[in-house]
Amino acid sequence: MGRIAAGRDARGGRLMATLMFAARPVSEWPFRRVAWLLPVAFAIHEAEEWNILAWYQRYWTNVGALTQRSSWTWLVFASALGCVATWLLTRLPWERVVAHLLLALFVFPVSHALLHLYFLWFFAAWNPGLLTAVTLLLPAGYLVAREALRRRLVSRWYLGALVLLGIPPIVGAARLAGRVPDTGLPWFNLGAALAEALFGAP
């Protein structure tokens, strides 16, 4: 009984320490912990998009191969990929390398968050993912970039290059004007391929 009680006390102590650490300003966190803001925000964002298929079918034409199964497969895969990649990167001993690769990895998820604002204007209607894009994903991107810059892990030139890299997806979506091209969208195609490989049908 004494060992059980001691184990519970130890777990309670670790939980309390974690909560107290989380209450500190982000500027006091180790950068490797700051880095996790991005994949966690992205995973929550993808969860908000769980039923996005109905929105695509209503507001987009030529949706094609996108099915509920392939949509869910893509959302889970993208979330897992972000978490696994972040875990691997934060194992690296070079903090500058971690910052450079992490920010490059999440350029497109953050630009995707901006697309939700564009879709709100273009379709004049709410879209799944908008809430977490504005309240979680964009702020997480800002905080991680700010901390990387403040700690001199990356340069302003590097951040500027990443911003430029994130512009083409937004411009591309604006040119599509609500119509999926005949070749499909990359995440549609990958989601369908993953669903077929895992479940035998997209």
Residue 57: what pLDDT? 87
- Please state, in angstroms and as integers, the Cα–Cα distance from residue 172 to each residue in 63, 160, 167, following that order: 16, 20, 9
The 10s digit of each residue's pLDDT in 129-185 is 999 999 999 999 999 999 999 999 999 999 999 999 988 877 887 777 678 766 667
The 10s digit of each residue's pLDDT in 35-50 is 999 999 999 999 999 9
Q: What is the pTM of this model?
A: 0.84
Q: What is the mean pLDDT of residues 7-28?
A: 61
Two structure tokens written together for 159: 């951040």
Residue 21 CA to residue 167 CA, distance in Å, equals 36
Residue 24: what pLDDT? 78
Residue 97: DSSP 8-state: H
Residue 55 CA to residue 64 CA, distance in Å, equals 14
- Examine the pLDDT at 22 and tell me if it is beyond 90: no
Confidence of residue 19 (pLDDT cuts 50, 70, 90): very low
Higher pLDDT, 88 or 26: 88
The 10s digit of each residue's pLDDT in 60-104 is 887 776 788 888 998 999 999 999 999 999 999 999 999 999 999
The 10s digit of each residue's pLDDT in 98-119 is 999 999 999 988 888 998 998 9
Domain boundaries, the chain: 1-29, 35-199
Q: What is the mean pLDDT of residues 46-61?
A: 90
